[in-house]
Amino acid sequence: MNKMQKISILSISLLSIMSSAAISPALSYIGDYFYNSSELMIKMVVSLPAIFIIPVTLLTGRLTSYIKKKTLVYMGLTLYLVGGLGGAVANSIVVLLVFRSLLGIGTGLLIPLMRGVIADFFDGKERVQMMGYASAVNNLGGIIATLFGGILTIYGWRYPFLVYIVGLFVLFLVIKYMPDHPLEKKESRSVSINRNVWMIGLSHYMMVLIFFAVPSGLSYYISESGLGTGVTTGVLISLVTLGSFITGLNFHTLKVFLGDSTVIVGLGLETFGMLGIGLSSNLIGVSIALLLVGIGIGILSPNIYLKTSLESSKEDVTLALAIAACFSFLGQFSSPLINEYIQDFFHFNRVDSTFYISFGIGVFSIIIILLNKVFKVYIPKHVE
């Protein structure tokens, strides 16, 4: 496979983090404009696409048996562009959320294909490298989205939605260079999803549940703490994706070096990075903490998708990857809801409380992983 074909496959990965990251720096400004809406409703602008991504992602895993993957990519990119760019013209919170829903449907079509196509065309070490590159490109999209989204808040809350025009660039690459995998006539058979896939998916849920305090809460934290503006938030969030981007590029080397400690190291960096955000009272401290969070996610995310692909048969790998992705977006959707519930239950309603809550969830997750080493509920059924 030539270089441009690989780039076209990886370019799809630019878009998933961007679906929420582009708007995160503008969240407090959107709240000011729609001042009659609750803070939870405003945070739904970031998290609502996730609830549409989940069923569509699972459906896409099934549709690959009947529709060519390249055709599904075209459909996903079209909805992504309409839903993403449409937010710029919304004049009510309801219309804005409708466009965000369309964005979610488009993203849901693309998510399983980002790595499903990799599983179609690559094996062995090359698959590990491409999974790492896909994670890196995913985070590159987040860097682009948060930096430009933050800068564009200078002109108003509508302008960050223009970042979604990147989808046109991806569409061009897909049309011109992406190879078209033939539609396989599959015999009627029951789908076999390994129990381990569901457990890996649950770990993906916890990872995102911890992290999503950043895109949903950092804009309010920076604004109310007097640490900066939407531009500041955009730059800070880009540090997360920068850390993940660099880590993703070196994922294969890191995985060999860390071995069995890969998950614990990644989760530990993410967890204590969240604590660092809450404890920091200046931009330097917040920046270092966010970089640690990014490095942790850069270790965890490609590892999750790699393990999912290895636990699945060739026939079921796209659906298995879709299931893993769904847990991620369930984490996105439920994070603001769970945070608000915990804050209200414990009367812990400070602007930085969401980061301490994420730290607590991370510590709980680390304990569960350590307990698994004793009780061995999750036992890998593959040899890497």
Report the CATH number that the domain containing residue 44 is assigned in CATH: 1.20.1250.20
Q: State which residues form the domain around 236.
A: 3-177+194-375
Number of independent structural domains in the chain: 1
Q: Report yes or no on 382 lying in a domain.
A: no
183 in any annotated domain: no
Residue 315 falls within a domain, yes or no?
A: yes
DSSP 154: G
Q: How many CA atoms lie within 13 A of 124 on its CB side?
A: 1
| pTM summary value | 0.80
Per-residue pLDDT of the chain (384 residues; tens, 9 = 90+): 789 999 999 999 999 878 877 888 998 899 999 999 888 899 899 889 988 988 998 888 778 878 888 999 999 999 999 999 999 999 999 999 999 999 999 999 998 888 888 888 888 888 888 888 887 888 788 888 888 999 999 999 999 999 999 999 999 999 999 988 777 655 555 667 888 999 999 999 999 999 999 988 998 899 999 999 989 999 998 898 889 888 988 888 999 999 989 999 999 999 999 999 999 989 999 999 999 999 999 999 989 988 998 888 877 887 888 888 889 889 988 998 999 999 999 999 898 999 999 999 999 999 999 999 888 888 887 655
Instruction: State the amino acid at position 321 in one-letter form.
Output: L
Number of alpha carbons in the 13 Å side-chain half-sphere of residue 44: 18
Burial of 123 (0-12, 13-18, 19+ CB in 10 A): exposed
For residue 184, the 8-state DSSP code is: P
Q: Is residue 384 part of a domain?
A: no
Which residues have a Cβ under 8 Å from the Cβ of 40 and sit 6 or more positions away? 336, 337, 340
Q: Is residue 87 a part of any domain in this protein?
A: yes
Residue 354 lies in a domain: yes
Cα separations in angstroms, 297 against 38, 138, 256: 30, 12, 17
332 part of a folded domain = yes
> Is 369 inside a domain boundary?
yes
Alpha-carbon separation of residue 23 from 99, 156, 159, 271 (angstroms): 13, 12, 9, 24
